[in-house]
Amino acid sequence: MGKVKTILIGSVESSKIVLDAMISNEYPPEMVFGLDKQYSTNVSGYVDLSVIAEKHDIPYMTFKNINDEACVEQIRAISPDYIFVVGISQLIREDIIGSATRGVIGYHPTALPKYRGRAALPWLVILGEQESKSSLFFIDEGMDSGDIIDQETYLIGEHDYAYDVYNASNEALERMLRRVLEKLDDDAVEAMPQNHDEATYLLKRTPEDGRIDWSASARDIYRLVRATSRPYPGAFSFYKDHKVIIWEASVHENTKYIGIPGQIICSDSGVVDVLCTDGILRIEDYETVADFRFIDGNKFK
């Protein structure tokens, strides 16, 4: 049997993990397709894959939409056995799916068929999940609905931030790739159909969804902070006319203070204590564009 021909399409850290694993396991792709940097503004955790591709003399092509005719023609010309599509939010059309003789392999950081869809890692934190799975599966024309090739469990701690879950899911992907890549040459990749009756769907999130509602519980706000922290845009609120992005926080009991949710109790030594309906949210790491002082007793909007 000749060398298995693969292509990688991606744009983020999980894409880089797949490319590194393919190279280290002696399955370098015939070509890497990476999202053009100029279109990466709204892509959390964007990675320029051209750096790795150029270092290893792997042909590289950028794209705005992977389904554009120029990309499809290039993929068809290569006639790959497998196409790995990892770390892009664009749905892959039949033109590309049909170009791979053995299949198009996708990645999703949830225990499919549960939680198909968008913004999986923030949603996992918001929903309070303590365990999930990284999944490799054959892409079909549905949303994360193809047959499952392999899954690897990872844990989510009750105080984990988005980057902790991001790292844990990527480490699970890396462990799983060792098993899957070994099966490529022997055409031994097997897959099990998903139970579509058990499928649930995560809807799209936008940066605006990180706006804090101070009438929510302190723990719900804390979850939102953790879920939207780096590499995502962050939870935020407005103090007067100033946007404040909150990267880290903690929840504390309130036995002393009476006031209005969103009211500043005190701000000292770089932390800001804010009254919530059932406790105190202590803001421990935040970012502002302008330089100003918080005034005790004033409110976040």
46-101 pLDDT tens trace? 999 999 999 999 999 999 999 999 999 999 999 999 999 999 988 888 999 999 99
Residues 164 and 233 occupy one common structural domain = no
Residues 12 and 154 occupy one common structural domain = yes
The mean per-residue pLDDT over the stretch 92-115 comes to 95
Residue 268, pLDDT score: 87
pLDDT-based confidence at 25, cuts 50/70/90?
A: confident
The 10 Å Cβ neighbour count of residue 41 is 7
Residue 90, pLDDT score: 87
pLDDT (tens digit per residue) in 234-255: 999 999 999 999 999 999 999 9
Residues 187 and 273 occupy one common structural domain = no
Please give the Cα distance from 132 to 143 (Å, whole number).
18
Q: How many domains does the chain have?
A: 2
Residue 8, C-beta contacts closer than 8 angstroms, at least 6 positions apart: 15, 18, 19, 22, 29, 31, 32, 33, 49, 83, 84, 86
pLDDT at 41 over 80: yes
Residues 270 and 188 occupy one common structural domain = no
Residues 110 and 189 occupy one common structural domain = yes
Q: Which residue has the higher pLDDT, 123 or 289?
A: 123
Q: Identity (one letter) of the amino acid at 154?
A: Y
The answer to whether the CB of 119 falls within 8 A of the CB of 43 is: no
Q: Is 80 helix (H, G, I), strand (E, B) or coil?
A: coil
Residues 157 and 56 occupy one common structural domain = yes
Structure tokens at 224: 């939102």
Residue 2, pLDDT score: 56
Residues 177 and 247 occupy one common structural domain = no
Residue 1, pLDDT score: 45
The mean per-residue pLDDT over the stretch 32-45 comes to 91
**DSSP designation for 207:** G
Residues 154 and 42 occupy one common structural domain = yes
Residues 141 and 187 occupy one common structural domain = yes
Structure tokens at 139: 């892409």
Q: What are phi and psi of 157, to 5 degrees?
A: -75, 155
Q: What are phi and psi of 163, to 5 degrees?
A: -70, -30
Please give the Cα distance from 191 to 249 (Å, whole number).
42
The answer as to whether 299 is a domain residue is no
**CATH assignment at residue 188:** 3.40.50.170
Last residue of a domain, one of 171, 202, 233: 202
Whole-prediction pTM: 0.92
Residue percentage of the chain with pLDDT more than 90: 88
Residues 162 and 34 occupy one common structural domain = yes
Residues 173 and 276 occupy one common structural domain = no
The answer as to whether 296 is a domain residue is no
Residues 216 and 157 occupy one common structural domain = no
Query: Residue 142 belongs to what domain range?
Result: 6-202
The answer as to whether 294 is a domain residue is no
pLDDT at 270 over 90: no
Please give the Cα distance from 5 to 185 (Å, whole number).
10
The answer to whether the CB of 229 falls within 8 A of the CB of 146 is: no
